[in-house]
Amino acid sequence: MKPLRPRLLLPLALLGLLAACGGGNVKPAAPVATPVAPATPVAPVKIGVALGGGAAKGFAHIGVIKMLEANGFEPVVVSGTSAGSVVGALYASGMDAFEMQQKAVALDQTSIRDVRLFSGGLIEGRKLQDYVNAQVDNKPAERLSKPFAAVATQLETGERAVFVRGNVGQAVRASSSVPGVFEPVSIGGKTYVDGGVVSPVPVDAARQLGAEFVIAVDISSKASGQRPDSLLDTVNQSIAIMGQRLGEQELARADVVIRPQVLDIGAADFEQRGRAILEGEKAAMAAMPQIRAGVQRLQQARLQQLRDAQARASAAAAEAYQRCQDSRSRLEKLRGKEKDCAAPAR
């Protein structure tokens, strides 16, 4: 047998190599990942809180804010009436709920109450004004960490007054000047009393500050068929009754209404502050599924609007590009030459 010639060995080697490649378990090449376009960025929903009046019941606002923060729904806009304006001012200054709770526990009524005997035993309100200003480092409202509005009632006209600039303590004092208990406050030649007369829970003020999703906290007294225990309770319930219809209309414009179970806490019962905070926490947690669903709906609607706008812009760019190409001369079209048009984004 003659040995194979060298020129025949090469084809045989190639055949063997091909046979080896075709046999056995050969792993396929790993697929190449296709880059995915990043998700369309959507601005976060601007959450606002509208904190209602209710004297000592107002400590419940702290509990509500604490739970909102803990669940990732930190308000960026704050409006308040009466007791709500006190808590709102502190929160807008940059304090978190835990800091406010510490302030509440340490609060002594004598630091915010100054009775003037010659004015019929009414509270002047100067101490409250000074206390609030000290807590916010004497900053004017427009320089607080969050947009803030204190709502009061102009006594001469009965109109709602919304303070968003200037002396924070003075605005809170005006918002908290319960008729018959506090002396009316004079600002700029006009007289102001408690905002609960015209806006018990200031939802509209929060909207005016730019809130897109308003969480209202209603702690106002309701007519219960029982006689109030004190003068302050009587006045507060009278104000609540006067503003009840207006309050219901305004509350209907909120996205979520939280009602802590504090109606049995007296207007001057500061000893119940711990319980009021706890009731605020419980009510906020009960409303959390509603808040979460509402914010998500708003985010989805905003995302769809953004996508629709992008689609319209893309279609308009494609149409403009086609018009540009259609404007070519006859010779350019025959030659297949394209114009230097702005190509639509892909």
Asked if residue 71 belongs to a domain, the reply is: yes
Sign of CA dihedral 230, 235, 239, 241: positive
Q: What is the pLDDT along the chain (346 residues), one digit of tens a residue?
A: 445 454 544 444 444 433 444 444 434 444 443 444 445 577 899 999 999 998 899 999 999 999 999 999 999 999 999 999 999 999 999 999 999 999 998 888 877 888 765 555 588 899 999 999 999 999 999 999 999 999 999 999 999 999 999 999 999 999 999 888 899 999 999 999 999 989 999 999 999 999 999 999 999 866 555 677 777 677 767 776 766 777 889 999 999 999 999 988 888 888 999 999 999 999 999 999 999 999 999 999 888 888 888 888 888 888 887 787 777 777 766 666 676 777 776 6
Q: Cα–Cα distance between 42 and 44 in angstroms, integer? A: 6
The boundaries of the domain holding residue 170 are 47-223+230-300
Q: Cα–Cα distance between 19 and 42 in angstroms, integer? A: 57
Asked if residue 34 belongs to a domain, the reply is: no
- With tokens 């060995």, the residue in question is 9
CA dist 176 to 81, 87, 91, 230, Å? Answer: 7, 11, 17, 18
Question: Are 214 and 50 in contact, with CB atoms under 8 Å apart?
Answer: yes
Asked if residue 12 belongs to a domain, the reply is: no
Asked if residue 328 belongs to a domain, the reply is: no
The DSSP code for 59 is G
Counting the structural domains of the chain, the total is 1
- With tokens 């940059």, the residue in question is 94
Q: Cα–Cα distance between 86 and 292 in angstroms, integer? A: 27
Residue 95: left (phi > 0), alpha (psi -120 to 50), or beta?
Answer: beta
Question: Are 106 and 236 in contact, with CB atoms under 8 Å apart?
Answer: no
Asked if residue 63 belongs to a domain, the reply is: yes
Query: Catalytic residue positions?
Result: 82, 194
Asked if residue 134 belongs to a domain, the reply is: yes
Which CATH number belongs to the domain containing residue 180 in this structure?
Answer: 3.40.1090.10
Asked if residue 176 belongs to a domain, the reply is: yes
Q: Cα–Cα distance between 247 and 243 in angstroms, integer? A: 6
Q: Cα–Cα distance between 276 and 282 in angstroms, integer? A: 10
Asked if residue 317 belongs to a domain, the reply is: no
